Amino acid sequence: MNVRLGQANGLVEKQFVRAQRVVWRVLRDRVMVHRVDASPDSASTDLIGPVALVWLALDEPASMAEVTTRLAEESVEVADVEAELGRLVAAGLVLERDSEPGGREAIEPLMAVGRLAVYDTAVLVNASAPLVTELASALADLIVSTDRHHLWEAPGHDDPLHFLQVEQAGERWTVRWDGEPSYSGQSMDLALYDALIVLNQHAARTAVAAGRTVLHGGSVVIAGRAVVLVGHSGAGKSTLTAALARKGHAYLADEVVAIDGNHLVDAFHRPIGLRSGGAAALGVHMPDGPYDSILPFRPGPPLGDRAPLGVVVVLRRSETPVGVQLTELNPPQALIELTNQTLGATGGEREMFRRLDEFVRTARVVELIYSDLSEVVAVLEAAAVEPGARRRTE
């Protein structure tokens, strides 16, 4: 895993300094670090291997070049100093600051939110204090560990580890993914929103790289089969996903729905993004918090595991009363509809089309036009248990 430190916007060369409010000890094969201000169960971290050596080399603030020199002077070999510094920065144990006077304000100490499982990857999330609670709450269904003792352990020994960091420096919020800035601005609300978007993007990239067909939509499990809801923005995908989940159907995913070649739908339990209209329709209170525009909504248990695909539903919302109209789509019609709802890697469009073409030949895709949310749920529940995938056509 190669973490590159942010070098955007022509910023001056950075200095690195150990985070304040940290106590630590050297043990025979590791450095034990404890954050003074963190909650007891997330305060402690063990640094092992090259990253520990880089930490020890930071007894005084230093640039990357200076750290490399110090290590060389001690005859200590660290293959990729930049990557190790990046890990420490992403973990909030080391701070970056401009080496010139008058540089940007020091970053507020980062605290651990948790380690997430996103498909077969691990994502370590850290944030400055004002957003820790909100992020921890929003991402609770993806968090697999808050034990910083296991910070560097990925789910499987080959599984890559990534870093999502939401940092505050003075008035400015910056979201970084693997060290690269994604959002930088003065809105905590937008920083939170961007952090969730960045996570979606990672999930989509990972799923595409793993050969999945990736649709932009939501999914729940009804009668043992995944119902995938896609549609244009405002069609009600997330609202309906939340409505079905609240009815007791296992929540599977929102925003990113990954389907493998055997039509198994993966789980991605990110919070459902509800707009104010959707929240109102569901009777969900929009509490005070840094989410004026979109509420990260956790539907609660049950949470679904991988499930066989039942039906893909292309949603359209009508402004005029139309009841509920359900229409089966043939493969060409489905291909047209789903092209706009499919997420793929930039430069990988040909492969994306190939997968989608194969997908629509064997998956059941329907169009559902509705005007009243309350009438749709029952129709979807019935549609889910109708005969499954169409047979492959030559």
Is residue 183 a contact point for other proteins (CB under 8 A)?
no
d(CA 44, CA 361): 52
CA gap 361, 373 in Å, rounded: 30
Counting contacts by CB under 8 A, is residue 378 touching other proteins?
no
Q: Parallel, antiparallel, or unpaired: how do β-strands 365-370 and 143-145 relate?
A: unpaired
For other proteins, which residue of 3, 5, 22, 123 counts as binding (CB under 8 A)? Answer: 22
- Interacting residues of 61 by C-beta distance below 8 A, sequence separation 6+: 15, 16, 17, 97
Residue whose CB is less far from other proteins, 106 or 377: 106
Phi, psi angle pair for 110, to nearest 5°: -90, 140
CA dihedral 73, 78, 79, 83 (to 10 degrees): -120
Report residue 245 CA to chain centroid gap: 20
Q: Is residue 21 part of the contact set for other proteins (CB under 8 A)?
A: yes
Return the number of the residue (7 or 20) whose C-beta is nearest other proteins: 20
Number of DSSP helices (H) and strands (E) in the chain, helices first: 10, 23
The one segment of 23-31, 179-187, 197-205, 275-283 that binds other proteins by CB under 8 A: 23-31
Of the candidates 42, 212, 55, 57, the one whose C-alpha atom is nearest the C-alpha of residue 115 is 42
Q: Among the candidate windows 29-37, 311-319, 333-341, 347-355, which touches other proteins by CB under 8 A?
A: 29-37
Least distance to other proteins from the beta carbon of 37, Å? 8
**Beta carbon nearer to other proteins, 149 or 232:** 149
Answer yes or no whether residue 37 interacts with other proteins by CB under 8 A: yes
Nearer to other proteins, 132 or 196 (CB): 132
Q: Binder to other proteins among 2, 7, 12, 36 (CB under 8 A)?
A: 36
Cα torsion 31, 35, 40, 45 to 10°: value is -30
How many residues bind other proteins (CB under 8 A)? The answer is 18
| CB contact burial 354-366 (16+ within 10 A = b; e otherwise) | ebbeebbbbbbbb
Of 20-28, 228-236, 265-273, 278-286, the window that binds other proteins (rule: CB under 8 A) is 20-28
Q: Does 25 bind other proteins (CB under 8 A)?
A: yes
In angstroms, give the least distance from the CB of 31 to other proteins: 11
Q: Please list, in sequence order, all residues whose beta carbon lies within 8 angstroms of the beta carbon of residue 81, skipping any fewer than 6 positions away.
A: 54, 64, 67, 68, 71
Contact with other proteins (CB under 8 A) among 44, 68, 187, 339: 44
Let me know if 262 is exposed, middle or buried by CB neighbors in 10 A (0-12, 13-18, 19+). exposed
Q: Quick check: 338 binds other proteins (CB under 8 A)?
A: no
What DSSP designation does 178 have?
T
User: Does position 60 bind other proteins by CB under 8 A?
Assistant: no
* Contacts to other proteins from residues 138-157, by CB under 8 A: 149
Q: Report whether 117 contacts 268 (CB < 8 A).
A: no
Task: State the Cα–Cα distance between residues 177 and 51, nearest whole angstrom.
Answer: 19
Contact between 23 and other proteins (CB under 8 A)?
yes
| Shortest Å, Cβ 133 to other proteins | 16
Of 37 and 105, which has the nearer Cβ to other proteins?
A: 37
Among 11, 32, 140, 322, binds other proteins (CB under 8 A): 32
| 133 contacts other proteins (rule: CB under 8 A) | no
Question: Per CB under 8 A, does 129 bind other proteins?
Answer: no
Dist CA 248 CA 253 (whole Å): 15
Q: Which is nearer to other proteins, 94 or 356 (CB)?
A: 94
Instruction: Give 25 or 391: the residue with its C-beta nearer to other proteins.
Output: 25
- Residue whose CB is less far from other proteins, 43 or 259: 43
Neighbours of 74 (CB within 10 A): 11
**Please, which residue, 26 or 72, has the CB nearer to other proteins?**
26
Stretch that binds other proteins, among 15-23, 75-83, 243-251, 296-304 (CB under 8 A): 15-23
Q: Give residues in contact with other proteins (CB under 8 A).
A: 20-28, 32, 34-37, 40, 43-44, 149
